[in-house]
Amino acid sequence: MTLVFNVQSPFINNLLIGEQSYITVQRGKDMDKNPLIGKCLVVGIILLFVGTSIFPTIAQDTEKAYLPTSTGKNQFFNRSPVPLSTSPGWIKIFGGINLDEGWSVDQTTDGGYIVTGVTGSYNLPPNGLYSFDLWLIKTDHNGDKVWDKAFGGRDWDIGLSVQQTADGGYIITGDTYSFGAGAEDVWLIKTDGNGNKIWDKTFGGTNFDMGYSVQQTTDRGYIIVGETDSFGAGGPDVWLIKTDGNGNRIWDKTFGGAGTDSGRSVQQTADGGYIITGTTGSFGAGSYDTWLIKTDGNGKEEWNKTFGGTNSDEGISVDQTADGGYIITGDTYSFGAGNEDAWLIKTDGNGNKIWDKTFGGTYEDRGFSVQQTTDGGYIITGSTRSFGAGGYDVWLIKTNGTGNETWNKTFGWASYDSGNSVQQTTDGGYIITGSTVSSFGAGQDDLYLIKTDKNGFVTSPPNTPTITGETNGTIRTSYKYTIQTTDPDQDNVRYYVDWGDYYYTLTGLNKSGDEVILSHKWDTKHAYTVRVKAIDENYAESGWENLTVTIPCLYNKSIPKFLELGSNAITFGGVSEKTTNTSQTIQFIFVFGLMIVDGVIVGVERYGAHYFNFDCSPVKKVTLIGIAWLFDMDTSYSVLRFYMKTFTNVSAIGGWSNKILFVSAEYQHFSLFVTPLSMVGLYFN
């Protein structure tokens, strides 16, 4: 079966409902978005494609008693890999019409997952349209929602870190504008196994205070790290808070100087102390540096290290490694290949750097979460603008024990998608949460939950598609392209086509093996690289297939230029206005102009002077049509003339680089010579 789609407009070209639906939109050249908490609104049109056929995946885990591991990590179940099932991955999207995001995920003892983030779609009434609540979602091992809870008030409240606790409940930290002592406070919430709140605590002063990371400690209390603008040495400082099992503060410590300092991740270490990573603007080599702080069990600093260059560098996630050292991820503007790169730093137990690696391309790439894997390597998630489908994509990077990349995967489409938290699962795969603003879900941002196998695959991906069609064309001419692939699992597939001109097409689902025909046209001269990939109904993605399409002709209307008459001026329609007075000046006005190139109207002008540049080789015929008023300033002679002239060889006109000057209604003064000249046959040197 062949499905035919006709693209008629650069924005929404055609919108069909059902398996044949697709959308073509223009992608902004400089798409950007703050990947932290402040969010900018996305203005655009989002087409819903909701995959509903998801395969069961993870084997159930054997529940074990809570105990600290040899590296000091809190463990609630056996994390040794179990045999992979035949369908190891899936993608789930949760959200409504407003902003909804996932910021932290933890695998639970029943093999399911607990996720925290923020929701603007399911906030508690009567909190109002512009409030956002902390969101807690429990899923089973297939990612299907078991229950969800929202916590909050009338303002912005967000969950940034969650962990299952020894009693089977959950501990969450984040920040709240709705409750507490100041503008924004650290928020700590304890729930039972069904998400019902047992207690909550706020920590803060009169200014802005935030909690980024929480972990249950070996004494059944909790450790939180974040930042405070209410206390400390100056500006925001790193804030470390220790509580008992009921959330009552035992002690707190601040770390920082006169600049801006922030703690983003904390973990209890094997010796009972704590390791913190974040960012410092008070110390180090550049404007901001990655900061690593080690404390004892009472929060007293033992040592700290900064990493960075002359620009801005940030530490976002830290994990103690099996050798007693530490692994950090974040981002760097000082090193790497492009504007901003994901950064991976390995240190020894005293914080001395052993090695570091950067990952990225030309644009912005960031690492948000890292964990050591059971094979001694590392798994990182974040976002990439340099690779993937376009815009920002979720980025999953696997390295070996020395930080060399083993593989990487991207998930997402042409807007903004980000992976904020990753964890290795008991089957050896990975669970990621984040957000998607691409053509998924129901609203502005949706919570993204992705389960992969040990190689980063969601399911067996479709085969790389083929694309055939015209490879040499002309501008503003629509061409048809045939795309086809097969899926090993016989899943339905959709196609994502990047046309190379900041436009892309996303089709609906099609049967494996069916041909899809799409149409597209280009408006400017270029050799375009058209890229297409297939995505099955479980969001497994094929590789890219490329096709180069050369469009040789450019009609480029430029800014106004000064008009000059030359001795080779052309008489339109056999009519000339002549003079032999060398001092005479003619005031020349075009009141209407029209240009036709090879039967296509390429310019209709009233007033304003423009020129058109023709790189077509060759242009067969150019017709100029104009109405002109000529006025002799010395004799007061005036005449209104209609002129039309056809040129069959553009390159021969005046011999001046194929540039024809044409148009209008600007008051220009031309000194005339003894040689008889035409007043309206104009061309530009």
pLDDT band at 633 (very low <50, low <70, confident <90, very high): low
**Does 295 reside within a domain?**
yes
Note whether 329 and 272 are same-domain residues.
yes
pLDDT tens-digit readout, 392-451: 899 999 999 999 999 999 988 767 899 999 999 999 999 999 999 865 556 678 999 999
Last residue of a domain, one of 551, 569, 597: 551
Same domain, 252 and 239: yes
Residue 543 sits in the same domain as residue 617: no
Res. 123: pLDDT tops 80: no
CB neighbour burial string for 567-579, b if at least 16 within 10 angstroms, e if fewer = eebbbbeeebbeb
Structure tokens at 541: 């993605």
Q: Which residues pair with 280 in a beta bridge?
A: 261, 289
Instruction: Flag whether 655 is in a domain.
Output: yes
Instruction: Pick the closest to residue 113 from 146, 81, 79, 89 (CA basis).
Output: 146
* Between 109 and 99, the higher pLDDT residue: 109
Domain extent, residue 584, equals 555-671
> How far apart (Å, rounded) are the C-alpha atoms in residues 665 and 685?
20
pLDDT at 658 over 50: no
Beta-strand relationship, 503-507 and 326-332: unpaired
| Residue among 452, 453, 441 at smallest CA distance from 417 | 441
Question: CA-to-CA distance for 446 and 452, rounded, in angstroms?
Answer: 19
Mean pLDDT score of the chain: 75
Dihedral over alpha carbons 349, 353, 354, 360 (to 10 degrees): 130
For residues 45 and 103, the model is more confident at: 103
327 and 188, same domain (yes or no): yes
Together in a domain, 9 and 96: no
State yes or no: pLDDT of 548 exceeds 70.
yes
What Å distances lie between residue 597 and 293, 582, 620, 621, CA to CA?
Answer: 69, 36, 8, 6
Last residue of a domain, one of 452, 473, 508: 452
Indicate if 374 and 435 belong to the same structural domain: yes
What is the predicted pLDDT for the residue at 58? Answer: 27
Q: Give Cβ neighbours of residue 435 (< 8 Å, ≥ 6 apart).
A: 100, 101, 102, 117, 416, 417, 418, 420, 445, 446, 447, 448
Do 482 and 352 lie in one domain? The reply is no
Q: How confident is the model at residue 556 (pLDDT cuts 50, 70, 90)?
A: very low
Amino acid at 449: L
What is residue 477's predicted lDDT score, i.e. its pLDDT? 85
* Alpha-carbon distance values, 109 to 66, 140, 334, 674 (Å): 10, 11, 41, 98
Position 613 pLDDT exceeds 60: no
88 pLDDT more than 90: no
| Whether 174 and 283 share a structural domain | yes
Q: Please tell me the distance from the alpha carbon of residue 388 to that of residue 609, in angstroms, as a whole number.
A: 44
Structure tokens at 59: 């084997």
Q: Quote the pLDDT of residue 646.
A: 59
Instruction: Please check whether residues 279 and 345 belong to one and the same domain.
Output: yes
Q: Shortest CA distance to 45 belongs to which of 490, 457, 372, 506?
A: 506
**Considering the domain boundaries, does residue 116 fall inside one?**
yes
- Mean pLDDT on 253-265: 96
Which tokens belong to 407?
A: 């593989």
Q: Are residues 509 and 623 in the same domain?
A: no
Nearest 10 degrees: Cα torsion 70, 192, 252, 202: 160
Mean pLDDT, rounded, for 97-103: 92
Residue pair 625/602 in contact by the 8 Å Cβ criterion = no
The amino acid occupying position 542 is S
Which one has a higher pLDDT value, 46 or 100?
Answer: 100
Flag whether 53 is in a domain: no
What pLDDT, on the 0 to 100 scale, is given for residue 352? 98
Q: Is residue 611 part of a domain?
A: yes
Using the predicted structure, report yes or no on whether residue 62 has a pLDDT greater than 80.
Answer: no
| Local structure of 651: helix, strand or coil | helix
Residue 347 vs residues 273, 277, 366, 405, 422: alpha-carbon distances, Å: 17, 12, 20, 18, 21
pLDDT at 26 over 80: no
- For the cut 60, the answer to whether the pLDDT of residue 45 exceeds it is no
Closest to 120 measured CA to CA, from 413, 450, 447: 447
Q: How far apart are CA 681 and CA 660, in angstroms?
A: 10
- Contacts (Cβ under 8 Å, ≥6 apart) of 530: 467, 481, 497, 498, 499, 500, 546, 547, 548, 549
The structure's pTM equals 0.68
- Return the CATH number at 134: 2.130.10.10
168 with 190, same domain: the answer is yes
Compare 354 and 567 and report the one with higher pLDDT: 354
What is the predicted pLDDT for the residue at 389? Answer: 74
Provide the number of structural domains found in the chain. Answer: 3
Number of alpha helices (DSSP H) and beta strands (DSSP E) in the chain: 0, 47
Q: Following DSSP, what letter does each residue of 27-76 receive, concatenated? A: PPTT----SSS--PPPPS-------------PPPPPEEEEEE-TTS-EEE
Name the pLDDT band for 391 (thresholds 50, 70, 90): confident
* pLDDT the model gives residue 583: 36
Integer Cα distance of 449 and 435 in angstroms: 8
CATH of the domain at 529: 2.60.40.10
- Give the pLDDT confidence score for residue 634 in this predicted structure: 57
Q: Are strands 555-557 and 609-614 parallel, antiparallel or unpaired?
A: antiparallel
The pLDDT, as a whole number, for residue 476 is: 77
Reduce the secondary structure of 586-637 to three states and give it as a string.
Answer: EEEEEEEEEEEECCEEEEEECCCEEEEEECCCCCCCEEEEEEEEEEECCCCC
